[in-house]
Amino acid sequence: MTVLVPLRLSHFQCFLLFALIISLAFGTLGRRQPLERLKYATWSFAMFVVVGIALAWLMYPFSR
Amino acid sequence: MLDNTTATNTNDDSGDPKIAMHETHQPELHVGHTSSFEVRAVAIAILGWILPGLGHALLKMWGRAVTVCLTVAFLVYLGAGMRGNLFAPGGEDAFARLGYAADLGTGSFYYLARALEVTGPDVSHADGDYGTRFLATAGVLNLLAALHAYEAARRRKA
């Protein structure tokens, strides 16, 4: 018996989840004050999403 | 470490032997103090690597300790749940060896992931491929946190 729940997520869901978790960690490690942490985490998340989508569109012509 | 003040004092010609002896021994005390700080900082970094968040917990940085521990644990759990590839030692190519180094960055959680992923990896889907990245990211993030704890233990800006 295992405690592991099998996950079936789409590419985009994985991408958002990854960006969210890493942004929260970056915010906590990178800044000291709660408000600064929130701002930095939000900024990191936005950058992850924007740059990720931009790179995906750049690579799209080579995907087929 | 020697600083300018100490260097000036060793050249003091006031003639008082007590002052001269005291000021001559000052650099040795300073060096010993710095060395013990360094050993403590390295020990904190290693402990932080073995158990994610422990380095910050020892420095009483509770918020960061909890965040590091939960983040690494969550990434490992998700990575294993997505059936990502957890690299084993003795990889055939550089990519496998690099992947193993990244996975090993999770410290004791590497064995947790190995215990959780009983059915083995499945990278034929996007989530399986992402799972591999989640596991590697957990390791790299934990190494980053251990380095952060090391810098904080050395009283540098962290």
Domain residue spans of chain A:
13-62
- Within 13 Å of residue B7, how many CA atoms lie on the same side as its CB? 4
Residue-wise pLDDT tens digits, B109-118: 999 888 888 7
Closest CA to B156 of B37, B11, B68, B23: B37
Q: How far is B126 from chain A (nearest CA, A)?
A: 6
CB atoms within 10 A of CB A19: 18
Interface predicted TM-score of the whole assembly (ipTM), two decimals: 0.80
User: What DSSP string runs through A1-64?
Assistant: ---PPP----HHHHHHHHHHHHHHHHHHHH-SSHHHHHHHHHHHHHHHHHHHHHHHHHHGGG--
Nearest CB among A2, A17, A28 relative to B64 is that of: A28
CA distance B74 to B101: 19
Show Cβ contacts of residue A26 under 8 Å, excluding neighbours closer than 6 positions: A40, A41, A44
The more confidently predicted of residues A9 and A56 is A56
Residue-wise pLDDT tens digits, B93-106: 888 899 999 999 99
Determine the pLDDT at residue B120: 80
C-alpha A8, offset from chain centre = 17
Q: Which residues of A touch B71 (CB under 8 A)?
A: 21, 24-25
Determine the pLDDT at residue B81: 86
Q: How far is A15 from chain B (nearest CA, A)?
A: 8
Q: Which residues of A touch B63 (CB under 8 A)?
A: 28
Q: Which residues of A touch B78 (CB under 8 A)?
A: 7, 17
Residue-wise pLDDT tens digits, A17-53: 999 999 999 999 889 899 999 999 999 999 999 999 9
